[in-house]
Amino acid sequence: MTTFFVLEVRAESACRLLNLTVGLHRAGVSAPRSSTRPVSRLASPAFDGLQVQRQGTLLRMLSITEHFCVDRLLDLAEQEVQPSNSRVRSQMWDRASAGAIGTWQGIQDSYKQWYSINPGWTRLNQLVEVRNAIAHGLGSLTRLQTTKRQSAVTKITDAGVRLEDDRIVLEEANLDHARRVCVDLITDIDALVQGLAPRV
């Protein structure tokens, strides 16, 4: 007998948003562009609009994934802790939940420590390294990443992303890969959460 797995509504919605994000990116890439640039007294920096658009798309996909992971974790824990039943419990919950979701590492540790859920975060962590260069380095390795160069470069290149002079260079295939990684992680977490035995 075949067992069917149905995504929970939030997981399905997150996967739909990921697909929509890539679709809207593709529509934007194929739209006609104006060749006029605003006049400025400052020298024009090297600017690649397509890279900026790809980077924004990657950031959005990781934000969608993070939102799902955090929302699912906190809802699961909140049902068990029931912080609204006690002022002390509420204050403890506020501290614990804030610490649990402050970083990707915190989210991963909380899933593992609280629920023994470990879907395999390696591919996501590679993309998070790319995201950090985009979000905090404007598309280039950050100072922190350059102090841990080998680790950062390894994660970025293992994600299939090219670096040129410490600058992230995204291709359309990188966005397809990122979408698959995010959808797989969301699906895995949803299946693992649904598979948890009810706690008394």
The span from the CA of 11 to the CA of 15, in Å, is 6
Count: domains in the chain: 1
Write out the residue range of the structural domain in which residue 70 sits: 10-22+50-194
29 in a domain, yes or no?
no
2 found inside a domain: no
Whether 59 is in a domain gets the answer yes
Provide long-range contacts, Cβ within 8 A and 24+ apart, for 155-161.
155/125, 155/126, 155/129, 155/130, 156/126, 156/129, 156/130, 158/126, 159/123, 159/126, 159/127, 159/129, 159/130, 161/130
- The mean pLDDT of the chain is 88
Residue 163 forms part of a structural domain: yes
Statement: residue 34 has pLDDT above 70:
no
pLDDT > 70 fraction of the chain, expressed in percent and rounded: 88
On whether residue 140 sits in a domain, the answer given is: yes
DSSP string spanning 16-65? HHHHHHHHHHHHHHHS---------SSPPPP--HHHHHHHHHHHHHHHHH
pTM score:
0.86
Asked if residue 36 is part of any domain, the answer here is no
Please give the pLDDT value at position 98.
Answer: 82
Instruction: Examine residue 1 and state whether it is found in any structural domain, yes or no.
Output: no
CB-CB contact of 188 with 28 (8 Å): no
Beta strands 167-169 and 162-164: pairing type? antiparallel
Task: Give a yes or no: residue 68 inside a domain.
Answer: yes
What is residue 80's predicted lDDT score, i.e. its pLDDT? 79
45 pLDDT more than 70: no
